[in-house]
Amino acid sequence: MQAEIEKLFDEKPQSYTEDHFRLFAEFKAALNAGAIRAAEPDARARSGWRVNGWVKKGILLGFRMGAVVDMSIDRVRQPFFDKATYPVKRFTPQSGVRIVPGGSSIRDGCFIGKGVTCMPPMYINAGVYLDDGTMVDSHALVGSCAQVGKNCHISAASQIGGVLEPVGALPVIIEDDVLVGGNCGVYEGTVVKRRAVLGTGTILNRSTPVYDVVRKIVHRATEDEPLVIPEEAVVVAGSRAITTGQGKEWGISLYTPVIVKYRDEKTDTKIQLEDLLR
């Protein structure tokens, strides 16, 4: 499949045949089943993850191949027009996924594990891998190709950014048992390691360093490596004073995430309520 997808992506035909659409349907079925992923764990990588560029090519191929069609349930009251290759994902009661009524949408071509809870309105894009027992709360976004582990909580109004292009770029990774607080944003291929906690309003990206006051180090993205938040780190939104020039004279401080502690029993007690909601 990989060789066929890469050839079709790199050598665009004049028109797409039934065989091409059959190949994409098989590819998308593998995405839905979790048999292939845009990124996967790799112990040899410094971040612990590697990107599967050919899978991202296949996802992009679907947008290239698809024509915009009318998918409206009611064309007057709720018009819906999108690529024919990416309708909403189909579920049955046997899928083991709770989708609470109220305007949520999950695009086809993503893996949603057993015991996942979707609170309205939230949105999950194509290429996502969302593992068992995770909750996606109201007004949350899980962007294209993001990888989210088991038993995570993506709190209300948080955004897990999508990284579909360039195809070689690592998407956002949220490992197992991570709590992402309300109004957080995780972008640009950031890797949040297992059991970390992001306090309300924390923003993580490639441009902003994270100050670890516990271990007395600074975590940064490099040209070749993403920002990585350590296991069990508790990160909150903080600020750092400008110490030179006009910024110092004006008393300006810049936003910066700060690791203030690592998880302990007190942290676990504060977040155990989520288990009652699953």
Q: Is residue 268 part of a domain?
A: yes
For the chain, how many structural domains are there in total?
1
Identify any residues that bridge with 10 across adjacent strands, giving them in sequence order.
none
Residue 103 within any structural domain of the chain: yes
Q: Beta 228-229 vs 217-219: how paired, if at all?
A: unpaired
Sign, CA dihedral 24-30-34-36, equals negative
Task: Report if residue 46 sits inside a domain.
Answer: no
- pLDDT score at 141: 98
Say what the pLDDT of residue 272 is. 65
Q: Which residues of the chain have pLDDT under 70?
A: 269-278
- CATH at 241: 2.160.10.10
Please tell me whether residue 252 adopts helix, strand or coil conformation.
coil
Is residue 49 assigned to a domain? no
The answer as to whether 169 is a domain residue is yes
pLDDT at 274: 54
Q: Is residue 31 part of a domain?
A: no
Give the predicted TM-score (pTM) of the model. Answer: 0.94
Q: Where are the alpha helices (DSSP H) in 11-65?
A: 18-33, 53-65
Closest Cα to residue 53, out of 170, 172, 188, 167? 167
Residue 16: inside a domain: no
For 155, the domain range is 96-273
What's the confidence (pLDDT) of residue 78? 87
